[in-house]
Structure 1
Amino acid sequence: MADSVNTADTAVPLDTVDTVRAAVRRRAHWQAVCCLAVLVCAVCLAVRHWPTVHTGAVRLAVADPGWLLVAAVAVVATWAASALAQQGAVAARLPGGRLLAAQFAASAANHVLPAGLGAGAVNLRFLMRCGLPASRAASALAVKATAGVVVRGVLIAALAPVCPGLLRMPHIPAAALLAVPAVAVLVAVLLRSPLWPRCRCALTAVRADIRAVHADPRRAAALWGGSLAFAALHSLALIAVTRAVGLPLPPVRVALLYLAASSAAALLPTPGGLGSLDAALAFALTASGAPSATAASVVLGYRLLAVWLPLLPGLLVLGVLIRRKAL
């Protein structure tokens, strides 16, 4: 007869207890590995890009601290705006504290994986942990992303007439025009492939979620208000950095430059727009009349506040959320 552990009501076999303990140890081991991986990733990123961080810190040491504080507050507020937009895309009430922490962690993960995969993965796991099926969680993320793209497009269209001549259509080489028939062929192949029914179902689900959002005025206000605040706060952060380093560009002009540069950088799948957004912002500021050294200082200051300083705390929060099974 197998040995057992007596409790008030039942007798649990020792082999079952050992199995449970082994499972707990394995789970704790993998949680420790995940946390360690997060920390190693943060240290590697900091070491690899330390010259950028150091140069930005040195140049910003003589900048106006008041304007830098305004930029830092605007960056922090972007996580609350992102949380508001995410809540608007979901019918169920999400836990506010964990939702805000997830957005903070997602912003850090977004600087590790390319093309927004980090933020998407974190938010997807968070919504699934909150009880949403995978399909509904993915649809909510698509609704939020669609609102963000529409808001940026509307803001660019509204600000472009205020700054005539600032945005110019890029020269399209003849070789790029040859890609149009290729894209048309790929679309035709997709429409005839077995994957198209799944894509159509996903698009139908997104359209249904968009209709459901706009059927509730509070959800629509949260989604669009959060998306608008997110873009506006990032623009405000860049405007504040230009003021801090003494770059006399009109705020509307800086906001339009940021929206256009960030939209262009989104086409390049680099982690957090690393390199692509930096180059696009520096080019846009220089083309608008800023000295190259000052433009570089603005970009370094903005990236330091928006990326490098929150990166390690964000990855630590990500590790804590993983350990507490919130992701």
Structure 2
Amino acid sequence: MSLASLWRGVLRHIGWVLGLAVIAIVVGAVLRIGDLHAFATMLEDAHPGWLLVALALQATTYASVAAGWKIVLGQTGTPQPLRRLYPIAVGKLFADQVIPVAGMGGNMFLVDQLTALGVKRGNAVATLLVAMIGFYAVYGVCALAMLATLWISGLASIWIAGFVLVFLVVATVIPGLALWIRRRGRRPLSPALARFASTRSLVAIIGEAPKRLLVDRRLIVRVAGVNGLVFLADAASLMVCFLALGQPVGFSVAFVAVMTASMIATLGPIPLGLGTFEAGATGMLALMGVSVEAALAATLLLRVFTLWLPLVPGFVLIRTALRAKTASLPR
């Protein structure tokens, strides 16, 4: 399955419509409950200085993701400078969020871009897998930290604990499945699995990864560490968005809200987490004593920095990559 065919799938994707409908329902419901004038006033009076800080914080998240790849590539003997990996991180976000092929869009984009930089395909696949394992490992740790914070605050419940447990299972299964596929090698798939093009593509690329990198625990811990900075920067960004609105909250409150919303968006079926992220963050913030109007306003500001702004350069990078790939094909 080529990146071009994945891109064509975007045009047929109806998840955008569903996602936009959900976010419209969420925003409309909250505005009916809250004070529309207060909500609008907070957005209009947002302090631009704090918004610049939020933008800078979000810029560091892509540097953190790229740094994880840089660490792995250094172990493969094909190191790459951060300045070359940074735009790939931005483009991968767009592909992950928009190209709806079982999460394969961003992964194949990463492998294609690394091989274009001269990295052997097997090493590029290993970079992808180690980064995936490190990401979900620290994701699980942050989820447990969120639950512990709620427990200490007296806000934890059996339902929240159950939700975190479900997420931890998913966070374990995803990298575990990738490792299982790598272990089984390139043996033929069962007829049931072979019917899915995305599964065939996944098996094909994972089978090329060098095993030594996938079992290097020290390497995985280092990659997990830099990926953990992404969650901390997202929480700090939400805290800064509250400061921009003149409604300060503590870092722990912002961290819990971001983690809850991220997990809901990860488990949910809506592309880009439209509606689900906003509802999760706003609901958790309200549970922790933040006014609904301020919670929604800050969450929407955060989404501008974490989702909407990066989609523009991401789209440009994906189009550039597709044109370069198309131009290299034999006529």
Q: Which runs of 5+ in 1 are unaligned?
A: 1-30, 177-186
Q: 2:62 aligns with which of 54, 71, 79?
A: 79
Amino acid at match of 2:251: P
- 1:62 deviates by 1.4
Give the number of equivalent residue pairs: 270
Q: Which runs of 5+ in 2 are unaligned?
A: 28-35, 167-176, 191-199
Q: 2:134 aligns with which of 129, 135, 147?
A: 147
Counterpart residue number, 1:128: 115
Q: How does 1:38-57 map to 2 (within 5 A)?
A: none
In 1, Cα distance between equivalents of 2:285 and 2:268: 19
- 1:227 deviates by 0.8
Q: Does 1:229 align with 2:229?
A: yes
Secondary structure (helix, strand or coil) at the match of 2:157 reads: coil
Q: How does 1:201-240 map to 2 (within 5 A)?
A: 208-212=212-216, 214=218, 223-240=223-240
Counterpart residue number, 1:61: 44
* Per-residue Cα deviation, 1:193-225 (whole angstroms, up to 9, x for no partner): 9648x97x96996863233462xxxx5675133
Kept in 2: contact 1:88–1:220 (CA 8 A): no
Secondary structure (helix, strand or coil) at the match of 1:161 reads: helix
Counterpart residue number, 1:28: none
**Residues 148 and 134 of structure 1: CA distance in aligned 2, closer, same or farther (over 3 Å):** same
> What's the RMSD between the two structures over aligned residues?
4.4
Percent identical residues: 25
Q: Does 1:100 align with 2:90?
A: no
Amino acid at match of 1:77: T
**Residues 120 and 65 of structure 1: CA distance in aligned 2, closer, same or farther (over 3 Å):** same
Kept in 2: contact 1:67–1:244 (CA 8 A): yes
Q: Does 1:166 align with 2:149?
A: no
**Structure number with bigger Rg:** 1
**Residues 97 and 58 of structure 1: CA distance in aligned 2, closer, same or farther (over 3 Å):** farther
Secondary structure (helix, strand or coil) at the match of 2:98 reads: coil
In 1, Cα distance between equivalents of 2:239 and 2:141: 19
In 1, Cα distance between equivalents of 2:158 and 2:211: 31
In 1, Cα distance between equivalents of 2:311 and 2:47: 23
Counterpart residue number, 2:99: 113
TM-score when scaled to structure 2? 0.66
- 1:74 deviates by 0.8
Q: 2:144 aligns with which of 140, 153, 157?
A: 157
In 2, Cα distance between equivalents of 1:166 and 1:203: 45
- 1:303 deviates by 0.7
Counterpart residue number, 1:285: 285
Considering fraction of residues, name the structure with more helix.
Answer: 2
Amino acid at match of 1:155: C
**Residues 128 and 269 of structure 1: CA distance in aligned 2, closer, same or farther (over 3 Å):** farther
Point out which structure has higher relative CO (alpha carbons under 8 A, 6+ apart).
1
- 1:263 deviates by 2.0
TM-score when scaled to structure 1? 0.66
